[in-house]
Structure 1
Amino acid sequence: MKNISILFTAADRIELDEVESDFLPLGEHEVLTRTRYSLVSAGTELACLSGVEDWFNFPATPGYTCVGEVVELGARVEGIVPGDMIYSWGGHRQYNVVDTAHTGRLCVKAPADMPLHLVPFTRMITVAMTALRISSIELGDYVGVVGLGLVGNFAAQLAGLQGGEVIGLDLSEKRVALAQDCGVHHAFAIDPATISEQVAEITAGQGLTTLIEATGNPRALPAALPLLGRYGEVILLGTPRGEFTSNLTDALSYVHLDGRGSQTFKGAHEWRYPVARDAFVKHSIQRNSEIVLDLMRAGKLQVSPLHTHTLPPTEAESAYRGLQQHKDDYIGVVFDWTAV
C-alpha cells in the first residue's frame, strides 16, 4: 500500500515521499493505524540524521512514538475495534502496523478524554521514568537533574512526584525558565563559580542524594559529581554520544573512596525492563505507559509547556533544522498527519 513517510535518505538529507509499505494483508494479530500525530525524539533522531547511529541504515523512516486511529485489524486481535485511538511506537509515516502478539511491541489505547497531540509524549516520559524506577529516591531526598530538555524536564517532574526536592540544572536560561514553568522551582543556569554554593544552600550542606544525568554529553558528568552528597547515586539517563577524553581514575575515585562519597553509578536505559507486562516482573514499559497516560490526564505532569511546535510532515525539513540550530526554541516538535 502507498504510505507517505518522512525519510532520512543520507546523512543530513530529509525527504517526504510516498513509499510502498508491505502491510497488507494483515497478520491475524496485527493492527493497522492511520497516524494522527507523531513526536520527534530529538536526541536519537538527530543522531540518526547525522549518520552516527550504526543501527539506522539510510534510507529509512525515523521516529518511534505516535498516536493513530485503527482502520483495520487482524482476525485474532482482541479488545480493539476500528476507530480506537492507539498509542504505539510507530514512525513518522501516514500508516503504521502494530503486532499485538509481539512482546517487544507496544499497543495501548489512548484515553478518550485526552488531547491526542499530547499522547506521543508518553514515550519520552517513560524514557525518563526509567531513571526513577532504578533510583532509591524517597520522600525528602535532594534530586539534581542535569539537562532540562524534554527527557530531563520530565525526569525532574517525576522525581518531584516521587517525593524528591528537585534541583534542575542546565546551561540554557530558556530551558531553566521552562522547567520552572513546569513546577521545578529550584532550577538554575549552571555557573561553575556559584553552582556548588547554590546546591549546598538548598541541601543544607548535605549535597544531592541522587544526580540524574540527562544530557547524554559525557563532558557534563565529571563537573557534576562534586554536587553529590556522601553515598549518593548517579543515574545515567541520557545516552552517551561523542568522544570525550578525561581522567577516568578521578571519576572512579568518587565511586571507590569514602572520602569522595562512595557514590553509586546506575544505568537507566529504558530497555532494562520488558515491554509487555510480565507476572514475574513488577515494572514494564507497558505498565509505565499506562501510568504516564493517567498522570497526564490527571494534570500531574506538565506537558503542554513543552509542546513548542506542531508542523505538517511537509515541513519536516524545517522541523529538523530547527532542532539542530535552535535547540532552546524547538523542544517538543509534533508532526500533524490529520490532513495527509
Structure 2
Amino acid sequence: MTTIQAIVFESANKVGFGTFTLPEMTADQMLVKTRYTFVSSGTETRVLGGHYGAADKFPLIPGYAAVGEVVQIGANVKGYRVGDLLSYNPQTGPKDIYSQWGGQASMHLVGVDDKPILLPNGSDPLDYVVSQVAAISLRGVMAAQPQRDECAVVIGQGVIGAFSAGLLVSQGCRVIAIDLSESRLKRSLSYGVHACVQASDPDAVERILAYCDGGANMVIEASGSAQGVSLAHKLIRKTPNVYRDPKTYYVNPISGFVGHWPRIVYQGTYIEKISLDPRVDLQSEGVLLLMPGDRGNEDRLNAVEAIRRKVIDPRLYIDRVVPYTEAPSAYEQLRLHPNDVFSVVFDWAQ
C-alpha cells in the first residue's frame, strides 16, 4: 500500500491537506511520483466554489494537470520504463475520498488506458506541466483552421485565452486580445499579439472593429461569460447581401462564401445560460459555431510537441512556482485576485 499526501478542498472555498492510501497497484498500472501540478484561476477555483457538481461532494481532491516520474511498473505494462517522465490526467485515486480529478497529490496510479503522454527525453518537467491546459486551447484553435494573415480576436486572457492568442500568433494571424485586466493585456503582448483592447472601454467594439477592418475572421470566446459571448457575436465578420445602388438589390453568389465562413469558437465553460438568435445576433448568411468539448490524446501530444519546438514558451504562462504546502494561500490568491495571479505551479519535491 502506498501512502500519499494530497491537497483537499474541504468545503466551499476552504483548502487543506490530507494523508491517504492508494489502492493496490494492478498489473496494468504504473506508480507515478508527482513532480509538478498546474492550476489556473479557472476550472479548479470554480470547483472550489462548489460548481461543476462539487457542492455535494466535499471533501475532494482536485486537479487535472500533472507531470511526474514513473517509479514502479506493473507486469503487463509495455512501452514505459522506470524513470520516464509523463504528463497525465489521473483516474485512480484513494478510495476514502472523492477525486475531482485527483491530480493534486504526491503520487498516482496511472494505467496505460489512462493515456499518459510520454515526454521527450531530457525534458524539464516544469516546461510540460502546462501541456494539459494548452491542449484545450490548441484543440479550439485547430478547429477554427486559422490561415496566415487572417484577423483573430480572443476574448478573455485567462490561461485558455492566453494560450489561444499565442497559438494564433504562431499561425501568422493578426491577433487582437480583449480583457478587463490591464495586467493580463500587458502579458498578452509578450505572446506577440497585434493589439490589446480594454473590455470596459465605452467604444471597445468600435476599437476592435477598427483593428479588424470591420470584423474578425475568427473569434475565440474564452472568457466563459455571457457578456463575452455577446461581444463575440458583435465582432464576427459579416457576409450580408448588398445593394449595388439604391434601386438594385443584389445577393452575393453563395459559392464565394462556402468554405470561407467566419468562425466563432466557444472555449469557455459557461455557468450562465447562453442564448443566440442567429438572424439578430450574427447578421450573416453563414458563421461556423465551434464548441470543442475537451482535449483528446492527439491534442495533448500536439501540445507537448508545440512546447518541444518552442512554438509555446511555457514559462510565459507560469506566474509562480511554490511548494504544494502553500496551496491554501495560492488558491486564495487565484480565487480573489485572478488579475494579479494568472497561474500557479505546485512543486511536489518535498
Residue 31 of structure 2 corresponds to residue 18 of structure 1 = no
Instruction: Output the aligned Cα RMSD.
Output: 2.0
Secondary structure of 2:157's match? coil
Pairing 1:73-112 to 2, within 5 Å after superposition: 73-90=73-90, 91-100=103-112, 102=113, 105-112=114-121
Q: Deviations over 1:85-127 (max 9, x none)?
A: 1111130101011110x2xx22112223332112110011101
Say which is worse superposed, 303-312 or 60-69, in terms of deviation: 303-312
The alignment-based identity, stated in percent, is: 25
Q: Conserved in 2, the CA contact under 8 Å of 1:222 and 1:251?
A: no
Quote the residue 1:223 is aligned against: 231
Residue 194 of structure 2 corresponds to residue 193 of structure 1 = no
Cα separation, partners in 2 of 1:190 and 1:3, compared to 1, 3 Å:
same
Quote the residue 1:40 is aligned against: 39
Quote the residue 1:302 is aligned against: 313
| Structure 1 gap ranges (5+) | 272-284
State the number of aligned residues: 314
- State the TM-score, normalized to the length of structure 2: 0.84
Post-superposition offset of 1:305: 2.1
Aligned pair partner of 1:159 in 168, 181, 184: 168
- State the TM-score, normalized to the length of structure 1: 0.86
Quote the residue 2:7 is aligned against: 6
Quote the residue 2:146 is aligned against: 137
Quote the residue 2:122 is aligned against: 113
Secondary structure of 2:213's match? coil
Amino acid at match of 2:305: D
Cα separation, partners in 2 of 1:50 and 1:196, compared to 1, 3 Å:
closer
Q: Conserved in 2, the CA contact under 8 Å of 1:70 and 1:86?
A: yes
Residue 332 of structure 2 corresponds to residue 321 of structure 1 = yes
Q: Deviations over 1:150-179 (max 9, x none)?
A: 110101111222332211111111000101
Q: Conserved in 2, the CA contact under 8 Å of 1:31 and 1:99?
A: yes
Q: Conserved in 2, the CA contact under 8 Å of 1:31 and 1:97?
A: yes
Residue 343 of structure 2 corresponds to residue 332 of structure 1 = yes
Say which is worse superposed, 186-195 or 292-301, in terms of deviation: 186-195
Amino acid at match of 1:299: K
Amino acid at match of 2:66: C
Q: Deviations over 1:244-290 (max 9, x none)?
A: 7xxx46565234x44xx64332212215xxxxxxxxxxxxx222222
Q: CA–CA distance in 2 between the matches of 1:310 and 1:249?
A: 41
Over 4 Å off, 4+ runs: 248-252
Cα separation, partners in 2 of 1:30 and 1:325, compared to 1, 3 Å:
same
Q: Conserved in 2, the CA contact under 8 Å of 1:313 and 1:337?
A: yes
Amino acid at match of 2:37: S
Q: CA–CA distance in 2 between the matches of 1:42 and 1:192?
A: 24
Q: Conserved in 2, the CA contact under 8 Å of 1:308 and 1:329?
A: no
Pairing 1:144-293 to 2, within 5 Å after superposition: 144-205=153-214, 207-230=215-238, 231-242=261-272, 248=275, 250=277, 253-255=280-282, 257-258=283-284, 262-270=286-294, 285-293=296-304
Q: CA–CA distance in 2 between the matches of 1:155 and 1:195?
A: 20
Q: Conserved in 2, the CA contact under 8 Å of 1:6 and 1:15?
A: yes
Q: Conserved in 2, the CA contact under 8 Å of 1:308 and 1:331?
A: yes
Cα separation, partners in 2 of 1:252 and 1:267, compared to 1, 3 Å:
farther
Cα separation, partners in 2 of 1:42 and 1:196, compared to 1, 3 Å:
closer
